[in-house]
Chains A and B, each alone.
Chain A
Amino acid sequence: MKKESNPKAKKIVKSKKRMIPVAQVENLLKRAMHDLEKAREVSSDAEGVSLSQPSEELEAKIKERTFELSVLYEFSNTIAYTLDYHQLIKLVMESLFKIVEHDICAALLFNENIASVTIKPSYAESAKFTEEVRNAVIDSAAMLTGDDIRRKHLSSFLIPSSSIAQPKEDNQLDKIRSTFNLPFIVQAKTVGLINVCSCRENAFSEEDIKLISTIVNQASTAIERMRAVITAEKSKMESMVEGMAEGVIMLDEDDEIVVINPRAKDILGFGLKEAATSGMLKEKFHALGLDKAFEECKTVKHLITKEINIANDGAAVVRCDITAVKNSAGEAIGIVAILRDITKEKEVDKMKSEFISTVSHELRTPLTTMREFISIIADEIPGKLSKEQRDYIEIIRGNIDRLSRLINDLLDISKIEAGKIELKRSFITLSNLIKDVVATLKPKADAKHIELKTSFQAFLPRVYIDADRIVQVFTNLIENAIKFTPQNGKITVKMINKENVIECSVSDTGAGIAPENLGKVFSRFQQFGRVAGGGAKGTGLGLAITRELVHMHQGKIRVESEPGKGAAFIFTLPKDTIESLVKKIIHDRMEEAKKLHAKLSILTLSIIDFNNVKNQIEGQKLKFILLDIERVIRYALRKPTDTVLRDEGEIFVILEECNKDGVLIVKKKLEQSITDYLKREDLAEIIKLQAGALTYPDEAQSEEELFAKAIKSQRGEE
C-alpha cells in the first residue's frame, strides 16, 4: 500500500461510515483508524523504514478490517429490505461465516407461542453437531428467559453448508470446544439467541465477539422494525376483517379460534355486546355441525361449502365456505371460514321457483282447454269438417303443442339451473329404451319418408341412468334429426361399446351445420340457418337441455357435421356396473370415515334364486315389484346420506357413519318392511331375500376388504 493511497482508503472508510446507519459500526471504524494511525507511528518512528511501506502485518490487518466493514455494510443494507425472520437469520449466518471463523452456529427466535431454530454448519462435516447445537441453543434460551421453549410450537430449519467450504487442515471437527451465546434484544426483552461454536480451544477473540455482537445488534434492530411493520399490517388486516360484511372465522391447527370478527358472532347468534367465550363459540360450532365440516376441510377436502340453518335473530340460512390454510409444505395448518347470510337469496330463489311453477301451471290451464276443444272439432264430434277447415285446425293444434313444449322446456331449464333435477338412476338395458323411443318417433319419420334405423352392437352392458331423462335426450336428438332431414333421407341411431363408456349417436343426412355454428348448437335459443324441413318448430332449448342431461350422467356430448352431408350428435354414458359403483362409493366414503374415525356399514340384500323368480313372474310385472322393493327400502332409510344401489335382484345399501349395532337395526327394519310388502302382494312364497351386514372397521380393515366381503355377502358366500 502506497502512502498516497492511505487518505484514499480513509475516504472510502469514511464514505462507508456515512452509509452505514448503525452506531456499532463506528467502533469498528475507530479500530480501523486506530490500526492505521499505529501503522503511521510505527513507520515514522522506525528509522530507515519508508512511510510508504508499512509493515505487512499491519497492512493485512487493515485489509481485514476493510473486508469486515464491507461485509457489515452489505449486511446492514440487505436487512433493510427483508420482512422475513427466516431470511434475516440466514443473512446473519452468511455474514458471520464470512468474517468469523467458526464450525457451526444456531439461532433461535421465539415469541409467546412459537419458536424456530435455524442451524447452519460451516462445513459438510460439522453437520454432525446439528442436534447437539440445537439442544444447546434451546437450553440456553430457556435458562436466559426462564421460559420453557420446548413447550412452544417449535420448528427447525437447516441451512446447508456451502459445498466448497473446507475446514482448515488442523481442525479436527471432533468435538465442540468453544461456544458463546449472544441474545437478540428488542425493547429490553430477549426475543432470541445466537450460538456460535468451534471445535478449537479458545477459538473466539474479543474482536470476533465484538464483530458478532455488531451483527446481532443490527439484526435486533431489524427484528424490532419487522415487528413494528408486521403489527401495523396485522392491525390493518384486523380492522379490515372487523369491518367485513361477511363473518370470518379462523382456526389454527389445534382448532383454537385465532380470529372471529363481530359479523361472524352476529351470524352465529351472539349479540354484539355479549362476550362470546371460546368455549361458547366452540359449542355453537358443534351444535351447527361446523366442527365436523372444519375437520373434514382440514383432513379431506381442503374446500367445503356448507349451508347451515340457524334458528336465531342473526340469520336463518348461512352459507359457509371453508378453506384450509396450508404451510409451504402443503399441510393444512388451520382453516378460514367465511360466513354469509343467504336467507334473502334463499327466499328469492324459492319465490323464483314458485313463480315459475305457478306461471307454467297458469299457462297450461288455458292451453289445455284450447287443445281439448280443438281436438273435439278435429275429431268431428260436433260435425263434419271440410278439408280446408281440418288443415287450419291442425295448424292451431300444432301451435298449441309447440307452446306447451316451450313451457316444459323453460321449466326444465330453470330446474336444471337451480340444480333441482335429481336423477332417479337405475340399471337399464339401453337398447330396449332406444327401441321404444324409435317406435314412438317412427310415425313422424315415416310421414317424411325418412328411414329411421338402429344399429346396436350385441351384448351391450346395462347402464346406470335415469331412464326418463335419457329418453328425453334420445327424443330431442331424433326429433331434431327428423326436423332437419329432407324427404327420403336417413337417420341412424347407433350404440357402440367402448372401453369405459357406451357411445350413442344420432346421425342424419340433412343439410348439416356450418363449421362456424358448430360451437353454438348447444347454446340456448340458437336456431341458425339450418333449414328445417317443415313439421313442428323447436323451442331453441332442446339441445341445451340435452347437453345438461348428458353432463348430469357424467357423459360427454359433441356434434360432428359436414355441411351438405348431414350431422351426427354423439354422446357417451359411463359403463358402470353395480360392483364398480359400490367400489367407488366405498372408496369415497372410506376416505372420509378414516379421517373422521367414523364407521361405515354396508347392507347387502339379494333375492334368492333370482333366475327362478324371473321364470315365475312376467318381466314387466317383476320390474314393478323390484321398483316397489327399492321404494320400500328408500322409505325405510330416510337418511339422505344413505345410498341404495340395485341391479335386478341385487341390492347394496351403504350407510355412512353407521356402526355394527346400527346396521343390524337397519337390516331388521328393512327385512321386516320388505317381508310385509311381499306378504301384502302375495309374493312371499316366490320371492325370498337373504341379507348380510358388514361394518368397517369391525369386520373389514380396508376398503378393498370391505368391498370384497360385500360382494361375497351379496352372493351368499358368507
Chain B
Amino acid sequence: MPGKILLIDDEPELVAAVEIRLKANGYNVDFAYDGQAGMDKIKESKPDLILLDIVMPKLDGYEVCKKLKADPEAKDIPVIIFSASQRKGFEEKYRALGVENFIFKPFESRELLEMIKKVIAKG
C-alpha cells in the first residue's frame, strides 16, 4: 500500500531525517531542496503525495502550490503543507488552493505517518 512521497524542503538535514523515517515505514521517497527543483521533480517522478515546506528559496510553497494546481497532470496529487510558521489566516489561504492538510514543525513522527497514510488511502 505505501507509495511514493516527494519531500520539498530547503533543510537538507531535516529532509534526510524524514527520508529515513518514511523509508523505514516502507515509502518510496524523493526530494528537492527548493520550489523550482520540486516542480521539476513532480513531473519527473509522479509522486502519490507531496510534503511541501513554505519558506524556501527560488519558489516558495505557495507558488509551488499554485503552479501545481494549475497543471492538469499534477493537480490531483495531494499536498500536505509542512511548515514551521503558524500565521493567522494562513491555513484558509492554502485550503482555498486545495491543500489536503497541514503539519507543523516540530512535529510528532507518529502524527505525520498517520496523516500520510490517510491522505494516500483517500487518493
Q: Is A544 on the interface with B (CB-CB < 8 A)?
A: no
Is B44 part of the binding interface, using a Cβ–Cβ cutoff of 8 Å? no
Given contacts A357-B85, A361-B85, A381-B24, contact A369 B17 (CB under 8 A): yes
B20 touches A364 (CB 8 A): no
Segment from B27-35, B58-66, B67-75, B101-109 that makes contact with A: B101-109
A373 on interface, CB distance cutoff 8 Å:
yes
- Assess whether A367 is interfacial by the CB under 8 Å rule: yes
Q: Is the C-beta of B18 less than 8 angstroms from some C-beta in chain A?
A: yes
Inside 8 A of B13's CB, which chain A residues have their CB? 369, 373
Instruction: Find residues 339-387 in chain A having any chain B CB closer than 8 Å to their own CB.
Output: 357, 360-361, 364-365, 367-369, 371-373, 375-376, 379, 381-382
> Chain B residues with Cβ under 8 A from A420's Cβ?
88
**Secondary structure of the B side of the interface?**
loop
Task: Knowing A364-B106, A367-B106 are in contact, say whether A372-B84 is a contact too (CB < 8 A).
Answer: no
A353 to B, closest residue via Cβ = B87
B21 within 8 A of A: yes
Using known A-B contacts A379-B109, A381-B24, determine if residue A369 contacts B11 with beta carbons closer than 8 Å: yes
> How far apart sit A401 and B107, CA to CA, in the bound complex (Å)?
10
Q: Pick the contact of A381 from B18, B20, B105 — CB < 8 Å?
A: B20
Residue A497 is within 8 A (CB to CB) of chain B in the complex: no
Q: Given contacts A372-B17, A376-B17, A381-B24, is CB(A364)–CB(B109) below 8 Å? A: no
Task: Please name all residues of chain A whose beta carbon is closer than 8 Å to the beta carbon of B107 when the two chains form the complex.
Answer: 368
The answer to whether the Cβ of A404 comes within 8 Å of any Cβ in the partner chain is yes
Q: With A361-B55, A365-B105, A379-B109 in contact, do A372 and B85 touch (Cβ < 8 Å)?
A: no
Contact of B109 (CB < 8 Å), options: A365, A372, A401, A422: A372
Confirm or deny: A310 has a beta carbon within 8 angstroms of a beta carbon on chain B: no
A185 in contact (CB, < 8 A): no
Most buried by B among A367, A368, A376, A382: A368
A557 close to B (CB within 8 Å): no
Tell me if B121 is interfacial: C-beta within 8 Å of chain A: no
A58 at the interface (CB under 8 A from B): no
Once A368-B105, A369-B11, A369-B13 are accepted as A-B contacts, the answer to whether A361 and B84 lie under 8 Å apart by CB is: yes
The chain B residue with its CB closest to the CB of A379 is B109
CA distance in complex: A357, B17 (Å): 25
Given A361-B55, A400-B106, CB of A369 within 8 Å of CB of B20: no
**Complex Cα–Cα for A626 and B84 (A):** 29
Q: Which of B84, B86, B87, B109 has the most CB of A within 10 A?
A: B84
> Which residue of B has the minimal Cβ distance to A411?
B86
A400 CA / B17 CA spacing, docked (Å): 16
Interface residues in A, total, Cβ within 8 A: 22
User: Is B1 in the interface zone, CB < 8 Å from A?
Assistant: no
The B-contacting residues of A in range 395-420, CB under 8 angstroms, are 400-401, 404, 411, 420
Give min CB distance, A634 to chain B, whole Å.
Answer: 10
Q: How far is the CA of A371 from the CA of B21 in the complex (A)?
A: 12
Contact of A404 among B14, B17, B24, B106 (CB under 8 A): B106
**C-alpha spacing A333/B88, complex, angstroms:** 43
Name the residue among B11, B17, B24, B85 with the largest chain A CB count within 10 angstroms: B17
Closest chain B residue to A367, Cβ basis: B106
With A357-B87, A368-B14, A420-B88 as given contacts, are A376 and B106 in contact (CB-CB < 8 Å)?
no
In whole angstroms, what is the CA distance A371 to B13 when docked?
12
Docked-complex contact A369 and B14, CB < 8 angstroms: yes
Residues of chain B with a CB closer than 8 A to A367's CB: 105-106
B85–A381 CB distance below 8 A: no
Residue of B nearest to A373 (CB): B17
- B residues near A404, Cβ cutoff 8 Å: 106
Query: Which single member of A361, A381, A401 contacts B21 (CB below 8 Å)?
Result: A381
**Shortest distance from the beta carbon of A399 to any chain B beta carbon, whole Å:** 12
| C-alpha spacing A459/B109, complex, angstroms | 39
Nearest CB in chain A: distance from B113 CB, A: 11
Residue of B nearest to A363 (CB): B84
Set of chain B residues within 8 Å of A361, measured between Cβ atoms? 55, 84-85
Shortest distance between the CB of B94 and any CB in chain A (Å): 14
Chain B 100-123 interface residues, beta-carbon cutoff 8 Å to A: 105-107, 109
**Residues of chain B contacted by A373 (CB below 8 angstroms):** 13, 17
Q: How close is B33's CB to chain A, nearest CB, in angstroms?
A: 14
- The answer to whether B88 and A422 touch across the interface, beta carbons within 8 angstroms, is yes
Question: Which of B20, B85, B105 interacts with A376 by CB under 8 Å?
Answer: B20
**In angstroms, how far is the closest chain B Cβ from the Cβ of A308?**
23
Check A365 against B21 for contact (C-beta < 8 Å): no
17 inter-chain pairs at a CB distance below 8 angstroms, sorted by A residue, are: A360-B85, A361-B55, A361-B84, A361-B85, A364-B106, A365-B11, A368-B106, A369-B11, A369-B13, A369-B14, A371-B106, A372-B18, A372-B21, A375-B109, A376-B24, A382-B20, A411-B86
The 9 closest A-B pairs by CB, nearest first: A372-B17, A368-B105, A364-B84, A368-B106, A369-B14, A371-B106, A381-B24, A369-B13, A361-B84
Known: A376-B17, A401-B106. 18 other contacts (CB 8 A): A360-B84, A360-B85, A364-B105, A365-B11, A365-B84, A365-B105, A367-B105, A368-B11, A368-B84, A368-B105, A372-B17, A372-B109, A375-B21, A376-B20, A376-B24, A381-B21, A381-B24, A404-B106
